[in-house]
Structure 1
Amino acid sequence: MSTTIVIVIIVVAVVIILLVAWLLMRKRREHQRVEAEGIRDRAAEKEFEVAQQEARAEETAARGRAAKAESEAKAAQAEQLAQQAHMHRGEAADSRTELDKEWERADKVDPDSRSGDAPRED
């Protein structure tokens, strides 16, 4: 075998090895493209579901904010009513004191009253 034939065989073998390597790399890239497309398809299918979840979360947060605002308004209203009740109790106590004085005065004026016998019960 001459040196030229050995060199040609080695060159052909290297070319074949490089060609096979190139084909394998190309096949691998195509497989990766197909796999990536599958991943993208599954992600696109989940996109709608995730958007719905986000919308539900925002809606729930909005309802929470509305409930908080409503409870704050109710708390303010309750505080105002408590203050009014306190004022009404004070007015009622003053009125009760005046009324008791009127009863005592009536008892003092009435000659038939037994005001000295026992205290008056309401």
Structure 2
Amino acid sequence: MATSTIITIIVIAVVVVLIVAAALIWSASKRKELRRTEAEQLRDKAAGKARQVGQREAIADETAAKARAAAAEADAKKAQAAGLQQRAATHRSEAATSRDELNQDIERADEIDPDQKKREGT
């Protein structure tokens, strides 16, 4: 083989290697660009979901606050009801005592009333 043929083959081989290298570099660059685009789309989608999640969390926090307020109100009403029941029991006890005293007064009046004795005898 002649030297010029060998040089031509080497030049062609170098050109082919350079073309393959360029194609590989271009392909890797395209792949990176596609991945960047996909990552950006995923971030945009995540940002949209983050807003929705934030709104749901806010609603959950608000609902929990309402539940705590309702529970506190229920506890206050329960305490108020217990107090009213205690007052009712006290009034009932006082009324029973007053009723007993009244009955005793009526019995005592009947005992000392001379006309009452006539009515019983009649």
Fold conserved between structures, TM > 0.5: yes
Number of aligned positions between the proteins: 117
Give the Cα–Cα distance (whole angstroms) in 2 for the partners of residues 6 and 110 of structure 1: 151
How far residue 74 of structure 1 moved from its aligned partner, in angstroms, is: 0.9
Q: Report what 2:86 is aligned to.
A: 83
The partner residue of 1:33 within 32, 36, 46 is 36
The partner residue of 1:54 within 43, 48, 57 is 57
* Unmatched segments (≥5 aa) in structure 1: 118-122
Q: Which amino acid aligns with 1:101?
A: Q
Q: Secondary structure at the match of 1:13?
A: helix
Q: Which amino acid aligns with 2:33?
A: E
The partner residue of 1:108 within 102, 107, 111 is 111
Give a deviation string over 1:44-102, Cα, whole Å, max 9, x none: 23333222212111110111111111111111111111111121111111111101101
Q: Report what 1:6 is aligned to.
A: 9
Q: Report what 1:73 is aligned to.
A: 76
Q: Which amino acid aligns with 1:86?
A: A
* Unmatched segments (≥5 aa) in structure 2: none
How far residue 11 of structure 1 moved from its aligned partner, in angstroms, is: 2.6
Query: Which structure carries more helix by proportion?
Result: 2
Give the Cα–Cα distance (whole angstroms) in 2 for the partners of residues 14 and 108 of structure 1: 136
Q: Secondary structure at the match of 1:102?
A: helix
Q: Relative CO higher for 1 or 2, CA cutoff 8 Å, sep ≥ 6?
A: 1
RMSD: 2.3
